[in-house]
Amino acid sequence: MKIGVAKEVEMGERRVALIPDTVSRLVKQGLEVWVEAGAGEQAFFADAAYEAAGATIVTDTAHLWREADVLLKVSPPRERADGQHETDLLHEGATLISFLDPLGNPGGIKRLADRKVTAFGIELIPRTSRAQSMDALSSQAGLAGYKATLIAAAALPKFFPMLTTAAGTIAPAKVFVIGAGVAGLQAIATARRLGAVVEAFDIRPAVKEEVQSLGAKFVEVKLEEETVAAGGYAKEVSDAAKQKTQEAIAEHVKLSDIVITTAQVPGRKAPRLVTGDMIAQMKPGSVVVDMAAEQGGNCEGSEAGKDVIRNGVTIIGPTNLPSTMPVHASQMYAKNLLTLVQYLIKDGVLMLNFEDDIISGTCVTHAGEVRNQRVRDLLGEPVAAK
């Protein structure tokens, strides 16, 4: 059983799928680990460290992809600079474990199925206690929430904490976090550590206690519809509910020095929560960090990868925030993958029990078929046979 670790080719992606520590654990279990040369250098893990952990460093990319039984990545397969698509480098029957963006890129999933690759989308790990240590979506979201707050603090032309000085007392910054999932909760916790006064909003009333436990005030809006999707994620709500939400948070946005938005719905455009009119009401020098910018943005006027200034307010649309902290992002992602690989491979054999909720929920392609029904719906394919 050969486990391959690919070097990422996506622009700006600095993470690596395994770090030397996780490699050594797999090697001790009798698995052979091949690491593409330079795979960990952007995350400050040298080839020599992988070799010391028992890995084989492979300089021929095509050879690594062709010979690996299980290929581990961070970002979905894509076209390389040499014109080859990474999916086409995999041999038929190979197993791929990676973020795959199945709902945003169903065509890529179909391509994997046509290649007869068994593909596991790491973002589809069930949100259960049994699968918690495999949940890379949550581990990376926590990093993103932390970094978003630091970006906001760096851009704000004020202090975060209250300060009493000989020159007078400085009032603490007011931070409003929209969306209290993993990223939002980490943003709240980080802003509180920096000394800000924090408020937070989420359409899911169940997160109120978590927000309050971090020392923030929860902004409540009662919506007359279900707001929680499967797995505890926020559900896309009706236009009427979106309008009610905007009206409820408008005053809080207006009075905030910093607004951090984190609201995203898998496979859908991000809900628009902060309007241009709200931005116009904010104080000059205020900052908005839109963590959903890549998905269309929660804030009107935000642009992915850019800083936009409107009415004196800086609107920041960061992309791939976990990659800006590649050491710990890779460490956490590698532990998620290690746990999943150990769960799937027993005595050197890949065990695919599709009665298991973790395996059935995460495996998107197998034996030439797309298994995930939501992806099949997007592709216009019939309901999968049981």
132 catalytically annotated: yes
Among the options 233, 272, 307, 356, which is catalytic?
Answer: 233
Among the options 42, 69, 132, 272, which is catalytic?
Answer: 132
Among the options 78, 101, 114, 127, which is catalytic?
Answer: 127
The whole-angstrom separation of Cα 46 and Cα 42 is: 9
Among the options 47, 135, 202, 257, which is catalytic?
Answer: 135
Q: What secondary structure does DSSP assign to 332-363, as a single string? A: HHHHHHHHHHHHHEETTEE---TTSHHHHHHE
Tallying the residues shown for the chain, one arrives at: 386
146 catalytically annotated: no
127 catalytically annotated: yes
- Pairing of the two strands 168-170 and 163-165: antiparallel
Reading the block at residue 379, the tokens are: 């592709």
* DSSP, res 75: S
Among the options 24, 75, 98, 138, which is catalytic?
Answer: 138
Contacts 24+ apart (CB under 8 A), 239-244: 241/203, 242/271, 242/272, 242/273
The whole-angstrom separation of Cα 102 and Cα 364 is: 8
Cβ atoms of 136 and 125 within 8 Å: the answer is yes
233 catalytically annotated: yes
Q: Which residues are catalytic?
A: 127, 132, 135, 138, 233
